[in-house]
Chains A and B, each alone.
Chain A
């Protein structure tokens, strides 16, 4: 961890993997990073419905992240 940054693991699910070209990546963000700020740094279509979880629990966009958090971003599946 460098300076004031925090390390966040972003896990992409389903077609997001192909769209962004990675499946899981740990990246550094400023200490004040929120769910929204992390997501907006990625080339995700903001209009595309999605479900975002932090460490397995649904999370609001404004929530502040902690070092070591895992953010999973999935399209809104509806279960076949």
Chain B
């Protein structure tokens, strides 16, 4: 049962930075709040609700950009160099949360902080240096215009801090492309929902962080032992199962088999040439392997791209920049991925935007030279988007929903996004549960919140819209969108190696000195989901369930596959509505998809519910 006093896992303070005034100050961490929201996305979501009132735009001074650790960051938990960025993101105009692995999260703690909260807009471009608690805002004119990898090397060398971590934006963040990301520790990215554009809007090019402070934990010996033992076991299981041979990219061949691969702007679900870009080919082309600190899985697979540069690929990159664009040359996909990483563009949104553009041209909704399968043109377009070059660059830079609204001709129906955020690499035209997961994700469509597809295809009938699918979506949202996002640790050991979740409760208790069970975590997860919904409703008081719909093209019989496993099949709207009803009922939300007063009270959100009632009446 929850309760008791926190005795470890936190450094006890947040670094506040106001870029408008140049002030920086330390703020004690509210430990009572930490027991309600733990860290990472939940803590950030709470702060966002308190400090960013409705109507504040993502690029306004009042928006906050938070780099948050969690109790596990920097501890002996496998995969715990992780951090989470939380802000109001420009694609959805709502809460954006993005997690990134690497070292940066551990270094936030080692520098003496639980998180860094940026507000304001600097008069000129700056970068922030946090070196063991000494904080400086420095002029960034010599770093401006450098790509993400070069920025990191340059700053570490110039500052003489080889053991620092740098989080920075590239060209796309500088020009505020609405799907610009933040790069850190070279091969890692906090990517979703234009958080890099928010960093750019604040004229903050980079944060350099270094520290040597020990991280207090309630049971240091217990943590050390457990951590060492688990690191060994994680490595052993990985070796035995062979998961890291292909890493996440093994999913590509599977999605192609079960008709879930994004092909041709998700109009198709499989392709005879998909094997050319699958995990097997990737592993064969591997030139290097990368990992994170304190992890024995080492899941990053790097190959040489078409131009001969190293590019690290995972399934989402290949699905969105490869098959979804009908590009089936692995080295060309690697080139597109390389460019995204260099410019600082989210690969999922970038792939979706290019595919939507090609589709709109094919449908005759807009004139243009880009065709599916044209890798060279795709490279040019990425550069134009990143630099916001000309009319086309600016069109592409604003994400698929805004593009569709500019293009018109009913193109919004095939802009593959939910709530403004592009759908990641799972084509759900006939996968109702996974479509529900995309539809109800509070940050817009993203697979990180709930990956229900294997459960759905293995344990239920594919065409079922039953309550068991809603239940599984919620279960996974609690774990993936909840637990791993607020304890702040890489979810791969649990996800891919079948690591027991109870381990995380054990780690949590040894770290904090609390005595929690998994049920306590689920309550925090439900609380943050309710809070995020309140955040939406505060902005859109006439909220209704249609906002939890996936793109309409998935319901369009004209869009059904003409051959293959799901020929003639698409989602059915009546049945999807039934599935949404199950989902809302199980969450204790009303038919609009808003938490009821009773649900809010059970989640200790009575005050917040009263606040939301100023905007809309709760049931």
- Interface residues of chain A, those whose CB is within 8 Å of chain B, are 11, 13-15, 17-19, 23, 48-49, 51, 53, 55-58, 70, 72, 74-80
Contacts and interface: CB of A to CB of B under 8 A. Distances in A.
Contact of B447 (A11, A19, A70, A79): A79
A53 B453 CA distance: 13
B600 to A, nearest CB: 30
Nearest to B316: A80
A56 B492 contact: no
Given A19-B242, A79-B451, A14 B492 contact: no
A72 B566 CA distance: 16
Interface residues of B, number: 34
A78 B254 contact: no
B424 to A, nearest CB: 9
B399 interface: no
A64 B179 CA distance: 49
B253 A80 contact: no
Given A57-B565, A74-B257, A18 B241 contact: no
A79 B250 CA distance: 10
A56 B565 contact: yes
A48 B497 CA distance: 11
A25 B566 CA distance: 23
A11 B253 contact: yes
A56 B250 contact: no
B24 interface: no
B2 interface: no
Given A17-B280, A56-B258, A58-B462, A74 B250 contact: yes
A18 B451 contact: no
A53 B314 CA distance: 23
Contacts of A13: 250, 253-254, 257
B250 A75 contact: yes
Contacts of A72: 253-254, 257-258
B245 A18 contact: yes
Interface of B: 241-243, 245-246, 248, 250-251, 253-254, 257-259, 270, 279-280, 314-316, 426, 447, 451, 453-454, 457-458, 462, 492, 495-496, 498, 564-566
Nearest to A23: B280
A78 B496 contact: yes
B565 A55 contact: yes
Contacts of A57: 258, 462, 565
A49 to B, nearest CB: 7
B475 to A, nearest CB: 13
Contact of A15 (B241, B254, B495, B566): B241
B251 A77 contact: yes
A79 B480 CA distance: 11
B242 A51 contact: no
A48 B498 CA distance: 11
8 contacts: A11-B257, A14-B242, A15-B243, A18-B245, A51-B457, A53-B258, A56-B270, A78-B495
Given A56-B566, A79-B447, A49 B498 contact: yes
Contacts of A74: 250, 253-254, 257
B605 to A, nearest CB: 30
Given A53-B257, A56-B259, A57-B565, A80 B242 contact: no
Contacts of A79: 248, 251, 426, 447, 451, 453-454, 495
A18 B458 contact: no
